[in-house]
Chain A
């Protein structure tokens, strides 16, 4: 066990963490806005990866160039999800809210399995390939690029939510939807927008990962579980918390896998969740 290997693990964890952060930000936005946990988040990630894959496979578009199309399609998917399903369960009991998105996740995953079979698929010869060598540390170019784009998207999201008027309207709806409605902010449209942005984040992460990750129907499950952990760790509805939480999770995953036992990677991350919800239920940056 040398310093180089540990450094390598830290770099890998950091790059993965930025992707987790963006996925978690999408979840956190929806959760903070309307108090609904999107249990289909992983399936939405899977859908966006498949979109990216099919755009490459059928139209020959490289995942780098098809990002806008993927974002647009996933945003439409988010708006549809809101208007076809979520709108009806906003006032329902929590059990019903959980079951509805849980049902959606089962539905999307099994339809995907029926249509596309559970095979693993990768994009061959993507534009972004190769690796950078920094001394003894190897950094895969697609991984580096993906994490940088995710960071950029994250900064963009943060700017949008905190600085623009629409973003402030979103925050107002998240704080008190009735008061916001009195001020003329249509909460229904804000919810739809929240879903569009949330799934847009997932679309960026998904299509960036398509450069080096295989897509299959169950791909989203682990990412969604990590996103739940990140949202709890970052704090209920806190976007900036997701960034730190995502990085922490990425580091724990890669360092834990290196130092203890790689087959229990998931357990270390789950342990964070359990510790956080027991000892600091408001998360790192929560406004509980």
Chain B
């Protein structure tokens, strides 16, 4: 087992590793230079949304893809993050940078509190429990006067751009860079996680809990670790999103659609590896933003119809996600079964 583990660690991330490395580094460089070309603010928005959803999908992937626990209410931590920064800023004037850390901390605590009793459950029960808990939180925030109840929190708009208050009203470029940095950091962290001992243990827990526990892997401990990591990855995105749109209410940030979107992206791209969520985001977010432009406001839920259809088609035809077109490992695993 240990031999296999160390062998697996020496394996290249990708076949012909160098090409991918060049490709990745040039992409990163291009992403950093992009705002210099003075592009339309819609495209900046599109990229911001791609970065944000990619981090969210990556976070969901840690708990669902790596440790195999399906959370249907992951939008909960998004909402917690959003409320944490906005509440601290509107009430006490504390800078959102501290708010982000606070949001992560609160999300982590909540994840532990949910995780300890819930992660012993069988898959379906856990999935339903997370759904119910997420709805409960949205109900409570809708009635909680301290955080503005149903009307939500309105972050006071400052006259000038400020890095301390994390508010930029003249341009989207600073937001672009903030989201980009968070995106790259999270991607790097997930990559490290997927190659680390922790990542392998999580996948062992997912694939065969009994075998894993016979190898002295404490199954529920690792499930909770994965859940907490995932929650703490999700929360900053809520915080940044709140700073980006500057007004939050329970219907927006605790929307069940956030959970659906995250799930859809990851399943579309492919769960259990770090490239799947990225691929899913790059495909789905442009579709989502363009349908919103061309079909939005008609009252029909055309984008949702599309999501439902895509989700069902993927489940039937490509259960390993679109990444299985590229990734040899995934295909091999499928054929062996």
Map CB proximity to B onto A233-277 as digits: 1 under 8 Å, 0 otherwise: 000000000000000000000000000000110110010011001
Chain B contact residues, majority secondary structure: helix
Interface SS of A by simple majority = helix
Q: How far is the CA of A80 from the CA of B148 in the complex (A)?
A: 46
A113 at the interface (CB under 8 A from B): yes
Residue B271 contacts which of A37, A92, A95, A228 (CB distance < 8 angstroms)? A95
Q: Smallest CB-CB separation from A232: which chain B residue?
A: B125
- Given contacts A85-B312, A100-B316, A110-B308, whether A266 and B136 have CB atoms under 8 Å apart is yes
Q: Are A95 and B124 in contact (CB under 8 A)?
A: no
From B133, B304, B316, name the one whose CB has the most chain A CB atoms within 10 angstroms. Answer: B316
B155 at the interface (CB under 8 A from A): no
Q: Does B112 contact A (CB under 8 A)?
A: no
Asked if B64 contacts A228 (CB within 8 A), the reply is no
Asked if A104 meets B312 with Cβ closer than 8 Å, knowing A95-B70, A277-B121, the reply is: yes
| CB neighbours of A277 from chain B (8 A) | 118, 121, 125, 129
B299 contacts A by Cβ under 8 Å = yes
Closest to A104 in B: B312
- With A98-B72, A267-B136 known to touch, is A274 a contact of B304 (CB < 8 Å)? no
Q: Please name all residues of chain B whose beta carbon is closer than 8 Å to the beta carbon of A278 when the two chains form the complex.
A: 117-118
Q: Residue B123 at the A interface, CB < 8 A? A: yes
Contact of B316 among A85, A108, A111, A114 (CB under 8 A): A85
**Given contacts A95-B267, A103-B311, A266 and B316 within 8 Å (CB-CB):** no
Q: List, in ascending order, chain B residues with CB within 8 A of A31's CB.
A: 124
CA distance A264 to B135 in the complex (A): 11
**Cβ contacts under 8 Å, A97 to chain B:** 315
B301 contacts chain A at the CB level, 8 A cutoff: yes
The interface residues of chain B lying within 8 Å CB-to-CB of A103 are 264, 307-312, 315
Q: Is A70 an interface residue (CB 8 A)?
A: no
Q: Is A138 an interface residue when CB atoms closer than 8 A count as contact?
A: no
Chain B's closest residue to A263 (CB) is B143
Interface hub of A96, A113, A273, A278 (most chain B Cβ within 10 A): A96
Q: Is B24 an interface residue (CB 8 A)?
A: no
Q: Are A270 and B136 in contact (CB under 8 A)?
A: yes
Closest beta carbon of chain B to A57's beta carbon, Å: 21
Chain B residues 91 to 114 lying within 8 A of chain A, measured CB to CB, are none
Closest to A43 in B: B308
| Interface flag for A109 (CB, 8 Å) | yes
Q: Closest CB-CB distance, B255 to chain A, in whole Å?
A: 13
A-B pairs under 8 A by CB, number: 129
A105 and B308 contacting across the interface, CB-CB below 8 Å: yes
Contacting residue for A102 out of B72, B133, B300, CB 8 A: B72
Interface string of A211-242 (1 = CB under 8 A from B): 00000000000000100110010000000000
The reply on A281 being an interface residue by CB < 8 A is yes
Q: A264-B139, A264-B143, A274-B132 are in contact. Are A100 and B121 (CB under 8 A)?
A: no
Contacts of A54 in B (CB 8 A): none
> Contacts of B271 on A, CB cut-off 8 Å?
95
Which residue on A lies nearest to B125, using beta carbons? A277
Distance in Å: Cβ of B72 to nearest Cβ of chain A: 7
A273 surroundings in chain B (CB, below 8 A): 128-129, 132
Residue from B117, B133, B271, B315 with most neighbouring chain A CB atoms (10 Å): B315
- B305 A94 Cβ-Cβ under 8 A: no
Nearest Cβ distance between residue B197 and chain A, in whole angstroms?
24
Residues of A within 8 A of B267 (CB): 95-96, 99
* CB closest residue in chain A, given B304: A110
A37's partner among B124, B139, B309 (CB-CB below 8 A) is B124
A117 contacts which chain B residues (CB < 8 A)?
299
Docked CA distance A37–B315 (Å): 15
Is there contact, CB below 8 Å, between B132 and A102?
no
Alpha-carbon separation in the docked complex, A105 to B122 (Å):
22
Q: How far is the CB of B78 from chain A (nearest CB, A)?
A: 18
Q: Does B192 have its Cβ within 8 Å of any Cβ on chain A?
A: no
Contact among B122, B135, B263, B315 with A266 in the assembled complex (CB-CB below 8 Å): B135
Q: Are B308 and A270 in contact (CB under 8 A)?
A: no
Q: B198 CB to closest chain A CB, in angstroms?
A: 20
Looking at the complex, which one of B127, B128, B136, B305 makes contact with A107 (CB distance below 8 Å)? Answer: B305
Cβ < 8 Å to B, chain A residues 38-83: none
Please encode chain A, from 13 to 53, with 1 for each CB lying within 8 Å of some chain B CB and 0 for all others.
Answer: 00000000000000000010000010000000000000000
Q: How far is the CA of A102 from the CA of B309 in the complex (A)?
A: 10
In the complex, A100 Cα to B317 Cα: how many Å? 11
**B: which residues have CB within 8 A of A?**
64, 68, 70, 72, 117-118, 121-125, 127-129, 131-133, 135-136, 139-140, 143, 260, 263-264, 267, 271, 299-302, 304-305, 307-312, 314-316, 319
- What are some 29 contacts across the A-B interface (CB < 8 A)? A37-B127, A37-B128, A88-B315, A89-B315, A92-B315, A94-B123, A94-B124, A95-B267, A98-B127, A100-B312, A102-B260, A103-B308, A103-B309, A103-B310, A103-B311, A103-B315, A104-B308, A104-B312, A106-B308, A109-B301, A109-B304, A110-B304, A110-B308, A113-B300, A264-B143, A270-B132, A273-B129, A277-B121, A281-B121
Extra contacts, 13 of them, besides A89-B315, A93-B319, A100-B316 (Cβ < 8 A), are A37-B124, A95-B267, A98-B123, A99-B263, A100-B311, A102-B72, A106-B305, A107-B311, A113-B300, A228-B132, A274-B117, A274-B132, A281-B125
A-B pairs with lowest CB-CB distance, top 3? A107-B308, A103-B311, A110-B301
